[in-house]
Every structure is written in C-alpha cells, then in structure tokens.
Amino acid sequence: MRLGAVLFDMDGTLLDTAPDFIAVTQAMRVSRGLSRIADQSIRDVVSGGAQAMVLAAFDVDPLSAEFEALRQEFLDRYQDHCAVESRLYDGMEQLLADIEQAKIAWGVVTNKPVRFAEPIMQRLGLASRCAVLICPDHVSRSKPDPEPMLLACSRLALDPSTVLFVGDDLRDIESGRAAGSKTAAVRYGYIHPDDNPDHWGADVVVSHPLELRAVLDRALGSC
C-alpha cells in the first residue's frame, strides 16, 4: 500500500464530541423540570445521531410531532454548543503531527452536516490543517455508501487504494471497503455495548490513536 492520505470519521474517531451532545441533552431535560440521566446512556447512542439521543433522553413516540419538535430543538441548541467541550482524542494531536511531518494529507469524511462540522473544525484549529472535509451536504448518499469516500479521494487526486480510512462505526468500514480503501476500526469511539469492531472486517483494529502510528510506519516503509 502506497499511502497517500489518512481520512478520519469525525465523531468518535477524530474527536470526542459527546460532551457537547450530553450538555445539550441534559439542558433540555433540566429546562423541562426533569432530572439528569446517566451521561453514558447518551454517549452509547451518539452514533445514532440526534434521533437516537432524543429517544434516549425522552419517553416519546418517534413518529409524533412532539418528537420532531424535540429533535429540532436539540439541533438548534447543538448549533450554539457544538464546539464548547469537544476535543481531539488523547494521542490524536500527536498522530496528526506525525502524519503532517511525513507530508501525508489527512481529512475528514463524516455523516455530520456541514453546518456543525465546519464550525467545530474551525474552533478547534483544525480547518487549516485538514486537506478535505466531506459531509452529507456534499453527496447524494452518505456512509455506508462509498460516495463520500470516493469524493474525498477525487478532491485529493488520489486513488482510493492509497488511502486509509479510520472510523468507529461499521458504516465507516463498509464505506471505505466499498471505495477500495484500506480501513482501520477504533475501539475507543461511540460503539454500542452490543457491537464489536473486531467483527466489522476492517484491515486493522486499534484501541488508541497512537496505535495507528505503527500502521502508518508499515505503509510508509512499503512505499
């Protein structure tokens, strides 16, 4: 594998964004006179998006108008609170520095809408370092479809086979494999207790961002 770029999923892979999701969800409960729920119950369903987090926090019919109102309030609140507590995962800054030092491009392919993803990247000082940011707004089909990955590779002018895609969800691995890229699954992200990254068919599975340095070293050594 001649490594041309490393692409990351955003939530649960590159960034720990759960604290902001948790803050928004708990604030919604408090504003209604409800007690806080366990933060972990929200963290466990982050990968399911706003719908899953609202359903975890409120006893509501997902087909009801009440649910849609709650979901919209969640998104509106999150717009104002999307990069307050979100941070790079431990070890990720060093990994990005290593990637950059090796003159390899890195970017983000996410199912997070651009109205949230761009401000987060900007506020964390990552926008100027990121070579490409692909969101659902840029494609007709999101992950697990390969379209987002293929678009990212096209914008980088790279063959997908020279790209490593790192993610914390089966959809990430399916998207990367379907695009013809190598894939790495992480165990540290927003993984449901009943799920197991070892069963996703990724080329490698890691428990910490810095474990990917060995993957990069092997790839660079084969160039």
Report residue 176 as tokens: 């990367």
Choose the catalytic residue: 11, 16, 44, 169.
Answer: 11
Distance CA 179, CA 160 (A): 6
Active site residue 9: yes
Sign of CA dihedral 68, 120, 137, 169: negative
Active site residue 61: no
Radius of gyration of the chain (CA): 18
Report residue 7 as tokens: 């692409």
- At residue 143, φ and ψ (nearest 5 deg) are -55, 140
Distance CA 16, CA 166 (A): 14
At residue 184, the 3 state secondary structure works out as strand
Helix (H) or strand (E) holding 115: helix 114-123
Choose the catalytic residue: 9, 44, 169, 172.
Answer: 9
| Catalytic residue set | 9, 11
